[in-house]
Structure 1
Amino acid sequence: MSAELKRDYEIGEEIGRGRFGVVRRCTSRATGEAFAVKSVDRSQMGDDLDRELAEVEAKLAQLAGKGNPGVVQVHAVYEDETWTHTVMDLCSGSDLLDWLRLRRGAPVPEPVVAGHEYGAKADVWSAGVVMYVLLSGGALPFDGETAAEVLAAVLRGSVRFPPRLFSGVSPAAKDLMRRMMCRDVSRRFSAEQVLAHPWIVSGGGARPLEQTT
C-alpha cells in the first residue's frame, strides 16, 4: 500500500471488494474525518488498456466531483508501482456499493445490447456513462420506464443534457461525454484520446475547447 496514503490516512476495515480491488474505511490523520479508499491492483489487469481505463476512471471521478455537492467527492488519488488508491466520501450501506457497481459499467454497454463484439471502446462508453451520472447528480444518459425502453435508448445513442441537471457543467465536459458515448464505434474516443481531451488536461476547468479528432 502507498506510503503516502498511509502517511495521510489511517486505514480501517474492509467494506467492499471487486474484481480488481478492495474498498476500506479510512480516517484522515489531519482532521479525523472518515472516508472510503478504493484500492485497485493494476498488476492484476490483463493489459495496458485495462490499466489506462483504471486511470481514466479515477480521474473522471475526481474531476466530476469538483464543485458538485450532490456528487460523491474524490478527495485524493495515490499511485505506486502497482496500485491506484482513490480516497472518496464514505457512503453508508448500499449507496457506496451501488456507486462502485455503477462505476464498473452499468447500464449494459452498447455493443452488448446491439449484439456486437465487446471491445476496448465498450469500456470507454461505460466510463462515459459514469461521468454523466457523476456530473448530473445521479441521472442516467439512457433511461426509460421499462428495460425495453432503456435498451432502445441505448441503441438510439442520443445523449442529452437537460439544463436543470447540467446548467453548471462546461461545454468541454459535455463534449467529452458525447465522444465517449458516441454510437459509432469508429468515432468513439479511445482511452488515450480521453486522457488527452482538454477537459481532462485542464483538470476540469474552463479552458476553451479546441477541435479534437
Structure 2
Amino acid sequence: MSEALRRDYSVCEEIGRGRYGVVFRCFSAVSGKSFAVKTIDKRLIADDSVDRQCLYNEAKVMHILSPNPHILQIFDVYEDESHLHIVLEHCNTSDLFHRLANRTVFSEPEALSVMVPLMEAIAHCHRRGVAHRDIKPDNILFNNRNQLKLADFGSAECFRDGELMTGIVGTPYYVAPEVVAGRDYNEKVDVWSAGVVLYIMLAGFPPFYGDSATEIFETVSRANLRFPASVFQSVSPATKDLLRRMLCKDVSRRFTADTVLRHPWMTGGGGDPK
C-alpha cells in the first residue's frame, strides 16, 4: 500500500469488495476523522481495456462534481506501481439496496425523500456534463445523518451539449432500452434508471424483469410499463404520471433530470394516495 497513503491515513478494516479492489475504513492522521479508501489493483486490469480507462476516469469525474451535498465526496488520490487509492467520504449506514431488502415497499412520502436528493444529484451531474450510467440502489448511499449520497462513478462518462455516448454499461434491471439496443444515447439514461428505482421502491419489484440477463434485456427493450392493480391501487395518479415520463422509451419525450424535479409529485409532497 502507498507509503504516502499510510503517512496521511491509518488504514483499518475492510468494509467492501469489488471486481478490482477493496474498500477499507481509514482515519486521517491529522484530524482523526473517518474516511473510506477504495484500493484498486491495477495489475488485474489490462492496459488496453475499457476498465483501465474507467480506473482513472472515476477520480477525475468526482473532482468535476465536488462538492455537492448529495454526491459522495472525494478527498485524496494516491498511486503506486500496483495500486490506485481513492480516499472518499465514509457512509457507515446502509445503502438503498439494503433498505429495500429489509422492507416490502416504501410509502410515497418515503420514496419522495429518496427521489428528491437523488434527482438533485443527477441533475447536478448533467449540468456539469457527466452521465453516471449506473444508477441503482447499490450506488445510493446514506451517511450517519441520513443524507443521500450518489456513489460509484466508475462507469461515468463526460459529455458536451448534444453529444451522444456509446457502450453497453449499467445493470440489467436499470439499463435504458436505447443502451440495450446498442444505439448512441444521451444523459437521459440516468433518468430511466432513476425511474426504475422509484418503481421498485413503490412496488417491491422491478418494472421489467426476467429469469436471465437476456430475458431482462428483452423486457427492457419492449418497455411495456404496467401498474398491477394489486400493488398500485393505492399509488397516486401523479406518481404514475411521473413514472410514465421517466420510463418513456421515446428519448425525445422522456423527462430530463431538471424536468423531473419540477414535476408536481416531486414538488407537492409525494401526492395523496388515491
TM-score (norm 2): 0.44
CA distance in 1, matches of 2:46, 2:178: 20
C-alpha root-mean-square deviation of aligned residues, in Å?
A: 3.7
Counting matched residue pairs gives 148
1:69-115 per-position Cα deviation (integer Å, ceiling 9, x unaligned): 2221111111222211111111124329823678563433767633x
Identity of aligned residues (%): 37
Q: List aligned pairs for 1:106-185, cutoff 5 A.
A: 106=171, 107-108=174-175, 113-114=180-181, 116=182, 140-142=190-192, 143-144=195-196, 145=199, 147-148=207-208, 151=220, 152=223, 153=247, 156-157=250-251, 160-162=256-258
1:56-81 per-position Cα deviation (integer Å, ceiling 9, x unaligned): 122212322x2312221111111222
Q: Is the 8 A contact 1:28 1:34 kept in 2?
A: yes
State the match for 2:78 in structure 1.
Answer: 78
TM-score (norm 1): 0.55
Q: Is the 8 A contact 1:21 1:40 kept in 2?
A: yes
State the match for 2:69 in structure 1.
Answer: 69
CA distance in 2, matches of 1:24, 1:34: 11
The residue identity in structure 2 corresponding to 1:55 is: Y
Q: Spell out structure 1 runs of 4+ moving beyond 2 A.
A: 46-49, 93-114, 144-159, 163-166
Change (3 A) 1:34 1:113: same
CA distance in 2, matches of 1:56, 1:161: 23
State the match for 2:94 in structure 1.
Answer: 94
1:7-48 per-position Cα deviation (integer Å, ceiling 9, x unaligned): 110000001111100000000001000000011112101342
Q: Give the match's secondary structure for 2:31.
A: coil
Q: Is the 8 A contact 1:24 1:36 kept in 2?
A: yes
Q: List aligned pairs for 1:27-42, cutoff 5 A.
A: 27-42=27-42
| Pair 1:5-2:5 in alignment | yes
Name whichever of 3-12 and 99-108 sits farther off. 99-108
1:167-187 per-position Cα deviation (integer Å, ceiling 9, x unaligned): xxxxxxxxxxxxxxxxxxxxx
Change (3 A) 1:3 1:157: farther
Q: Is the 8 A contact 2:57 2:154 kept in 1?
A: no
Change (3 A) 1:112 1:28: same
Change (3 A) 1:13 1:42: same
In our comparison, the structure showing a higher alpha carbon Rg is 2
